[in-house]
Amino acid sequence: GAVVSQHPSRVICKSGTSVKIECRSLDFQATTMFWYRQFPKKSLMLMATSNEGSKATYEQGVEKDKFLINHASLTLSTLTVTSAHPEDSSFYICSASEQMNTEAFFGQGTRLTVV
Amino acid sequence: QKEVEQNSGPLSVPEGAIASLNCTYSDRGSQSFFWYRQYSGKSPELIMFIYSNGDKEDGRFTAQLNKASQYVSLLIRDSQPSDSATYLCAVRAGGGSNYKLTFGKGTLLTVNP
């Protein structure tokens, strides 16, 4: 399958700071990238859909000013958690599709801990 | 509200047995169906996808789709302890802005040696 690389895999930050997570498609061009959040023993919750060159589409209840998404190229999307708080601690996962209607491959995930 | 339902389990099978994982979905417009495996603390890994009614086989895995019944399943033959994981069913409606996946909550499978 295609390779999606997510970085960093783990990050610990202080409350009030911002954290940037990168998602790269290594062997294909990703028209669409998706950002998910997963709390322990819960399923994946879609946060936003990111399309290259356009603004991200956020799911209901997700603060677009807190979770900034940039998809500047066909191989890179970034999620920035701004002014992070302990309740933002979670497992953040990106996925990417070569085309909108093809299978999505997941990055390794980023475990964010806000202290 | 588009929903994807899975039995949360845990589903426990002995090594070598067939594990059967089931999933139902509410949106009749769904066009693509995916099974992912997720080990604890890791991100999901794509196992199979199926678009057409019927069976699709890949090694020890068989996906079955019945659009009339809005039902998709995953069979794992000759189950191994390494298959122990949470299996996520995902459905995509397709078309327009609906290319996002809707996930079920997952079924925890335990394969006992």
Range A79-86 average pLDDT: 97
CB of B106 less than 8 A from some CB of A: yes
In the prediction, which pLDDT does A97 show?
A: 83
Question: Where is B38: in which H helix or E strand?
Answer: strand B32-38
Question: Where is B9: in which H helix or E strand?
Answer: none
Contacts of A28 in chain B (CB under 8 A): none
Please give the residue of chain B at the shortest CA–CA distance from A107: B43
Q: Would you state the structure tokens that stand for residue B10, as one six-digit string?
A: 């845990």
Range A61-68 average pLDDT: 95
Contacts of B35 (CB under 8 A, 6+ apart): B21, B46, B47, B48, B49, B61, B63, B72, B74, B87, B88, B89, B90
More confident residue, B64 or A100: B64
Contacts of B99 in chain A (CB under 8 A): 32, 49, 97, 100-101
**pLDDT band, residue A27 (cuts 50/70/90):** confident
Contacts of A111 in chain B (CB under 8 A): 41
In the prediction, which pLDDT does A1 show?
A: 65
In the prediction, which pLDDT does B1 show?
A: 66
In the prediction, which pLDDT does B87 show?
A: 97
Rounded Cα gap, residues B22 and B72, in angstroms: 6
In the prediction, which pLDDT does B96 show?
A: 55
Question: What is the Cβ-side half-sphere exposure of residue B68, based on CA atoms within 13 angstroms?
Answer: 2
Range A78-98 average pLDDT: 94
Q: Cα A88 vs. chain centroid, distance in angstroms?
A: 13
Other Cβ atoms closer than 10 A to B94: 14
pLDDT tens, position by position, B4-54: 999 888 999 999 999 999 999 998 888 899 999 999 999 999 999 999 999
In the prediction, which pLDDT does A26 show?
A: 92
Per-position DSSP letters for A25-86, written without gaps between them: ESSS--SEEEEEEE-TT---EEEEEEETTSPPEEPTT--TTTEEEEEEETTEEEEEE-S--G
Residue B72, classed as helix, strand or coil, is strand
CA distance A40 to chain B (A): 9
Whole-angstrom distance between the N-terminal and C-terminal Cα of chain B?
Answer: 40
Residue B7, classed as helix, strand or coil, is coil
Other Cβ atoms closer than 10 A to A87: 8
CB contact under 8 A, A44 and B49: no
Kindly report the average pLDDT of chain A as a whole number: 91
In the prediction, which pLDDT does A101 show?
A: 67
pLDDT tens, position by position, B59-110: 999 999 999 999 999 999 999 999 999 999 999 876 555 578 889 999 999 9
Contacts of A105 in chain B (CB under 8 A): 46
Rounded Cα gap, residues B88 and B36, in angstroms: 5
Residue A103 backbone dihedrals phi, psi, to 5 degrees: -60, 150
CB contact under 8 A, B105 and A43: yes
